[in-house]
Amino acid sequence: MSLADDELTGARVRFAPSPTGKLHLGSGRTALFNWLVARGSGGAFVLRLEDTDSERSKAEFELDIMDSMRWMGLDWDEGPDIGGPHGPYRQSERMEIYRGYGERLLAEGKAYKCWCSATELDERKKAAVAAGKAWRYDRKCASLAPDELARLEAEDAPYTVRFRVPAGTVAVDDMLRGDVNVDASEIDDFIIMRSDGTAGFHLAVVVDDITMEITHIIRGDDHLTNAVRHVLLFLALGAAAPRFLHHSLLFGPDGTKLSKRHGSTSVSDYREQGYLPDALVNYLALLSWSPGAGDEREIFTPAQLIEEFSIKGVSASKAIFDFDKLNWIDRQHIKAKSDSEVTDLVEPFLVKTGRGELLDLPRDRLEIAVTAVRNSLERLTDGLDQMDTFVRPAGLLDAKASAELAKANERDEALEICMRVLRAEPSSDREAAERIVETMRAEAKERGWGAKKILWPFRLAVTGLTIGPDLVYLIMFWGPSGCADRIETTARKLEGKRE
């Protein structure tokens, strides 16, 4: 890994999504940055699930997150599915751990019980706003009289636990942004334990990072304000805060936060649309990261990213998601693969779209069909309609092809020439197919025709369509005699229409 700071050697990093939706592209990018640091530094990548929102957390989203990460090639060393020495790795299974830390903070006077109901807090907030004041929790319960405290305890009234924010300045050490200093007076005494006894977000995250021995926290800059509270909790619990890196979020072309109005936003959506995982990983890595001054490369394999990725190459500037750039990068990754590899990658989409006739083709012919369209692919799904050309019945003309053949000058003579040239060639390899096309061009030239006068009727008669793969692939797929037979079938239909 091209890291200038040796402190990252052996880094323990984590990706901690909430399974309340599919894996978002932005979250996938966060996971990627963490994975690259772990793999490049010889450290560990921990996956944990922040599933304490019982109403919105779903098993289907948990599966989508893990399946999407595996598809991207992001493996983890510890996690809910494989375990590890610091488990459990689902927050819903760690509540007793959090309670212990919450009670410790209470016992040390670093937190206190708050009996203020949501209704009371809302009324006090409205009063403050009406008086033109900024609202922060007013610490009413932090200094209750002993008799009032005893009464509430005796009544067993429901309460939350709030962290007692100390006075002073809070410093967040961010590897991208430098020291971020915040006056503690700007921070509420935030809730660390809810009234139902479950841990709040801030306590759960910090306890997890302590007990899982996380050394570096890499996440979106929407968590920068949370980091201030987290540093306070680390210090209160006697732990050194990890190093932070808060990278920029993803934005759409219009400069607003990437959302569904811009198009698909989940990793699994891009998988279904036929993008290669290596291409998506390549593009996500380039959003806020570059390999260094003078290095203009844009195409990277995952192995190259591990080798090249550097924290020093990460920028704090806004990351704009460019769909055209992703398509270009995907196309480069497709081009780098062999015909056989691309065929293997296209086959699942043939299955998914019910193209049984193509799947039933012998492997060598299916590979020709895929190779015929691969140069136009930006995604693996782009060429499926063109591939349908290879399973069209002979003589089946669409309306455009029928009209074009009907008005073609010297059509019958052109088709006769095509059949004669085709039947004279016994081989169907690429060299023979190219030779056939050149011979047809020569036949046209001898008659003072443009090449299109023969090649255009050839395409129309063989495929029944006005658009489609290069003629060389048509000949390779059906063979010279097969193409001649298809032309003959079309010619007979045209003859029948004349009669």
Locate the DSSP E strands across 328-473: none
Q: Any idea which residues carry the catalytic annotation?
A: 260
- CA 332 to CA 344: how far, in whole Å? 17
CB 135 within 8 A of CB 128: yes
- CA 192 to CA 111: how far, in whole Å? 9
DSSP 196-219: TSPBPHHHHHHHHHHHTT--EEEE
The sign of the torsion formed by the CA atoms of 390, 394, 398, 404 equals: positive
Q: ω into residue 277 within 30 of 0, thus cis?
A: no
CB 115 within 8 A of CB 89: no
DSSP 270-317: HHHTT--HHHHHHHHHHSSB-S-TT-------HHHHHHH--GGGB--S
Output the six-digit token pair for 13.
Answer: 């990093």
Question: Strand 169-174 relative to strand 44-47: parallel, antiparallel, unpaired?
Answer: unpaired
- CA 408 to CA 312: how far, in whole Å? 64
CB 190 within 8 A of CB 217: no
- Quickly count: other Cβ atoms within 10 Å of residue 378's Cβ: 19
Q: ω into residue 88 within 30 of 0, thus cis?
A: yes
- CA 454 to CA 106: how far, in whole Å? 89
SS3 332: helix
- The CA dihedral of 319, 325, 331, 332, to the nearest 10 degrees, is -70
SS3 117: coil
Give the CA angle between residues 162, 159, 187 to the nearest 5°. 20
- CA 369 to CA 18: how far, in whole Å? 43
CB 444 within 8 A of CB 451: yes
Q: Which of 240, 245, 223 is closest to 310 using CA atoms?
A: 245
Output the six-digit token pair for 290.
Answer: 């570059």
